[in-house]
Amino acid sequence: MAYRAEPPDGGWGWMVVLSAFFQSALVFGVLRSFGVFFVEFVAAFEEPAARVSWIASIGIAVQQFGSPVGSALSTKFGPRPAVMTGGILTALGMLLASFATSLTHLYLSIGLLSGSGWALTFTPTLACLSRYFSRRRSLAMGLALTGVGLSSFAFAPLFQWLLNHYAWRGALLLVSALSLHLVACGALLRPLSLAEDPVVGGPGAQITSLLRHGPFLRYTVALTLINTGYFIPYVHLVAHLRDLGWDPLPAAFLLSVAAISDLVGRVASGWLGDAVPGPVARLLMLWTTLTGVILALYPVAEAPTGLVALTMAYGFTSGALTPVAFSVLPELVGTGKIYCGLGLVQMVESIGGLLGAPLSGKGNKISRWAMAAVFYHGGCRGELI
């Protein structure tokens, strides 16, 4: 097997982008649109909405905590087997969920089983993608991550249509079939052997070396802080708008505006990350600072035009920082250790994600936005170091 000196930056890499696009769509798009199912579960199992929403929380937690496992497996066996297994696990989880008779059944099948499936697919795919690109890495990341935004648009109405025609049991069965496409995406991930691979060794060695790596640790902390603040605006934006007297429909529309600008931000930032020479970390700093500033302005903005402008800007900057955040890592740790590195980062930053939303719930309106801004600034300070 010949080892390439450098990532190909094209060729089969674009097929990997396609695979990553569908993967992020099928993992996060499904997760984000699952709220449509929750309404049905509340009625079917006669449980309060808070308990039903645990399904998604468990799923996300398992996906993020299980990332190191996914990356370890993909380091050892290559991304393809890991992702294909993950796809089968996800589909199996959904399939079993369609037979559910209680909420606990759903916690285990969707939360645990599908969650582990997602853990085995998302991280290895992104890591594989960053191995295939170096010059155009940010652009490739940006394009791949647009899958999340587009699928959130498409899947919510699709799931509602499925629910109307097949009820939740049949709809879960069909979402399981949809998730099977993750296996096909996995098949596209041709293993790539880079020159650094024999040097860095197996997963165990990689993880220990990463944990001793100063910049990596600082980067992880920074991303955790960013992640803590990341979900707060999404959770509270609608409530904030309603407090100001907005109707539900315009408020929902504003969320769509944020989603669109998020999409644009991702691609633009991806392109920018490659076009601008020098370390990508500087761009990450730029976007996080901007996001923090925008969030701090939220309590001040009262007029509708101001809010719309702020939301568009927020969507753009928060979308912009995602591909860059992922691109910084390979530069930090090298493409050889990327699988394990990404896995560890995901795991640690998930703590931030878990804590962020409940923490922000405690404060009042203004303090929430301030908290989010603080987290972002913390993140960017981390980058400075």
Partner 1 sequence: MSKQVWPYLIHHGGKAAPFKSLPVQEEMMTKYSNLSLESHNISVTAAPFTSLPVQEEMMTKSSNLSLESHSISMTAAPFTSLPVQEEMMTKSSNLSLESHSISMTEHSNMPVEKNITLERPSNVELICQFTPSGDLNSVNVTWKKGDKLLEGNYLVNATGGILYTQHRVAVINSKQMGSYSCFFGEKKQQRGTFNLKVPEINGQNKPLITYLGDSVVLMCKCQDCLPLNWTWYGGNGSVQVPIGVPVNDKYVISGKHANETRLKITQLSEDDQGTYLCHAIFELGESEGHVKLVVLSYLVPLKVFCAIAAEVVLLVAAILLFEMYTQKKKKPSDDGKEFEQGEQLKLDDSNGIENSGPRHRKNESVGQ
Residues near partner 1 (CB under 8 A): 2, 4-6, 8-11, 84, 134-135, 164-167, 169-171, 173-174, 176-178, 180-181, 183-184, 187-188, 190, 215, 277, 279-280, 330-334
> Which residue lies nearer to partner 1 by CB, 174 or 238?
174
Residue 102 exposed, middle or buried by CB count within 10 Å (0-12, 13-18, 19+): exposed
CA–CA separation, 55 and 374 (whole Å): 29
Output 6 or 247, the one with its CB closest to partner 1.
6
- How many angstroms separate the Cα of 265 from the Cα of each of 97, 262, 269, 291? 36, 5, 6, 12
Residue 145 Cβ, how far from partner 1 at the closest point, in Å? 20
b/e code 319-330 from CB counts within 10 Å (16+ = b):
bbbbbbbbbbbb
At closest approach, how far in Å is the CB of 85 from partner 1? 13
Judge residue 115's burial from the number of C-beta atoms within 10 Å of its C-beta, 0-12 exposed, 13-18 middle, 19 or more buried: buried
Q: How far is the CB of 122 from partner 1 (least distance, A)?
A: 19
Closer to partner 1 by CB, 134 or 228: give it.
134
Please report how close the Cβ of residue 187 comes to partner 1 at its closest, in angstroms.
4
Q: What is the DSSP letter of 336?
A: G
With respect to partner 1, which residue has the nearer C-beta, 7 or 233? 7
* Shortest CB 23 distance to partner 1, Å: 14
The pair of structure tokens assigned to 174 is 């069909």
Which residues make Cβ contacts (< 8 Å) with residue 3, sequence separation at least 6?
A: 193, 194, 195, 197, 198
CB of residue 259 to partner 1, shortest distance in Å: 27
Measured from the CB atom, is 2 or 249 closer to partner 1? 2
187/300 with CB nearer partner 1: 187
Give the closest residue to 70 by CA, choosing from 83, 88, 61, 58: 83
Instruction: Give min distance, CB of 306 to partner 1, in A.
Output: 38
Nearer to partner 1, 208 or 367 (CB): 208
Tell me whether residue 211 or residue 366 sits nearer to partner 1 (CB atom): 211
Provide the minimum distance between the beta carbon of 378 and partner 1 in the complex, in angstroms, as a whole number: 22
Q: What is the DSSP letter of 238?
A: H
Q: What is the DSSP string of 113-124?
A: IIHHHHHHHHHH
* Nearest-approach distance from CB 341 to partner 1, in angstroms: 11
Closest CA to 7 of 112, 100, 101, 128: 128
The secondary structure of residue 300, as a DSSP letter, is T
CB-wise, 173 or 244, nearer to partner 1? 173
